Amino acid sequence: MLKIIEEHISAISKKKFANQEDAEKFRVKFLGKKGVLSSLFLEFKTLDSKEKKTIGAALNELKTAAEDALKSAPRNIKKNKNEGLEDLSRPGYNSHPGSRHPISIVKNEIIEIFENLGFTSEEGPEMEDDWHNFSALNFPEEHPARDMQDTFFLTRDQKWALRTHTSSVQVRTMEAQTPPIRIIAPGRVFRNEAISSRSHCVFHQVEGLYIDSRVSFADMKQTLSSFSKAFFGEATQIRLRPSYFPFTEPSAEMDIWWGLENEVDHRMTKGTGWLEIMGCGMVDPNVLDSCGIDSQKYSGFAFGMGIERIAMQRFQIPDIRAFYENDIRFLKNFTGA
Ligand code: PHE
């Protein structure tokens, strides 16, 4: 009998349970009412007292071994009631994850480049008052940009309008912060223009503003050149053409060298090889003073670019209207963060 008990003990010490079922079988076999242990105990009762001493100790050892083994058995995991019904080898379900809008892809890329240059992102309202969209930006009272032709006015007295550019966020930022200021402001803008393949009445801009003591035109040029290289490629050349904006002095348009290799290049660059990307300039001291920043102490530069124009060039999209039609077949072509 002692030999049988010892064999059981050594078998139990090697026992590993595959699953809960296996453990249950083990429990019934050893510890169940009609199990190994009960029958051994029955036999034990018939032994004489001398034998009882050694066998008793061995039996107790076997019982503890069986109980201990069960402690390490896998726990009862609730069964899924469909278990066994699912065919795990079947092909996966087709998922249709959405993709980002090409405007968002380009916008996020622009934001990331400027964030790497130390700019943070600001936002402003799309409904603006005359002050933030025009007056604080040095627009003379009779400036044509205030004209009904360009601006969607919201009130008869023309005090409220849909912002015509993100430069209004410059004003809000200067009013709220003290230099050094280094922000970009992406957002939607509205102009009362005829819709065509090249222009729309709703589009997106990214504004930039940098104000500190002794900021120069050279700083602006360097910043814009770094951006252009990061966005369009390391070999990108830029040029600044004199221009005019009421809120910057001097003002410029920035072009990048695009080349004249094919028919499309000729059309896109109007035969010059240069592609116009953004307006920029040194913030007019009048604007600084209007917004509560001492123009004797501080100077700065600002720039603003249209996202659609850049996205059309980047993805070779010939018609600006494609961005707003929400045609899934068009939108599915773009991937990006
Ligand atoms: N706000 C100008 C526009 O909409 C762009 C611009 C921004 C120009 C900042 C100079 C400085 O055309």
- Top pLDDT among 85 and 251 is at 251
Q: What is the pLDDT of residues 274-283, one digit of tens each?
A: 999 999 999 9
Among the ranges given (5-14, 81-90, 180-189), the one the predictor scored with the smallest mean pLDDT: 81-90
Q: Give the Å distance between the CA of 217 and the centre of ligand 1.
A: 16
Q: Would you say the CB of residue 302 lies under 6 angstroms from ligand 1? A: yes
pLDDT at 88: 79
% of the chain surpassing 90 pLDDT: 59
Q: Would you say the CB of residue 279 lies under 6 angstroms from ligand 1? A: yes
Nearest-angstrom CA–CA distance, 191 and 151: 5
Give me the mean pLDDT over the 121-147 stretch. 90
Nearest-angstrom CA–CA distance, 228 and 67: 73
Q: Which CATH class is domain 102-334?
A: alpha beta
Q: With contact defined as beta carbons under 8 Å apart, do 253 and 245 qualify? A: no
**Residue keyed to tokens 């405007």:** 103
In angstroms, how far is CA 157 from the centroid of its own chain?
41
pLDDT higher than 70, residue 84: no
Going by CA atoms, what residue is nearest to atom 2 of ligand 1? 304
Give me the mean pLDDT over the 99-111 stretch. 95
pLDDT higher than 90, residue 99: no
Q: Give the Å distance between the CA of 249 and the centre of ligand 1.
A: 12
Q: Encode 165-228 in three state secondary structure.
A: CCHHHHHHHHHHCCCCEEEEEEEEEECCCCCCCCCCCEEEEEEEEEEECCCCHHHHHHHHHHHH
Nearest-angstrom CA–CA distance, 45 and 51: 10
* pLDDT bracket for residue 335 (50, 70, 90): confident
pLDDT higher than 90, residue 177: yes
Q: Would you say the CB of residue 280 lies under 6 angstroms from ligand 1? A: yes
In angstroms, how far is CA 31 from the centroid of its own chain?
59
Among the ranges given (43-57, 84-98, 100-114), the one the predictor scored with the smallest mean pLDDT: 84-98
Q: Give the Å distance between the CA of 156 and the centre of ligand 1.
A: 26
Could you count the other beta carbons within 10 Å of the beta carbon of residue 225?
16
Closest CA to 152 of 191, 199, 196, 204: 191
Q: Give the Å distance between the CA of 206 and the centre of ligand 1.
A: 9
Closest CA to 282 of 256, 255, 244, 310: 244
Highest mean pLDDT among 160-164, 258-262, 316-320, 330-334: 160-164
Provide the mean pLDDT of the chain. Answer: 90
Q: Give the Å distance between the CA of 116 and the centre of ligand 1.
A: 22
pLDDT higher than 60, residue 77: no
Q: Give the Å distance between the CA of 41 and the centre of ligand 1.
A: 96
* pLDDT bracket for residue 54 (50, 70, 90): confident
Going by CA atoms, what residue is nearest to atom 12 of ligand 1? 279
pLDDT higher than 90, residue 234: yes
- Structure token digits, residue 61: 């050892």
Number of residues written out for the chain: 337
Q: What is the pLDDT of residues 294-318, one digit of tens each?
A: 999 999 999 999 999 999 988 989 8
Q: Give the Å distance between the CA of 240 and the centre of ligand 1.
A: 14
Domain boundaries, the chain: 2-71, 102-334
Closest CA to 300 of 220, 245, 238: 220
Task: Using DSSP bridges, classify how beta strands 160-162 and 299-306 pair: parallel, antiparallel or unpaired.
Answer: unpaired
pLDDT at 262: 85
Highest mean pLDDT among 33-42, 79-88, 197-206: 197-206
Q: Would you say the CB of residue 227 lies under 6 angstroms from ligand 1? A: no
Among 114, 137, 139, 167, the mutation site with the greatest number of ligand 1 atoms within 8 A of its Cβ is 167
pLDDT higher than 60, residue 145: yes
Please give the DSSP secondary-structure letter assigned to residue 74.
P
Closest ligand 1 atom to residue 208 Cα is 9
Going by CA atoms, what residue is nearest to atom 7 of ligand 1? 304
Q: How far is CA 189 from CA 161, 185, 207, 274, 308, in A?
A: 11, 12, 11, 25, 11
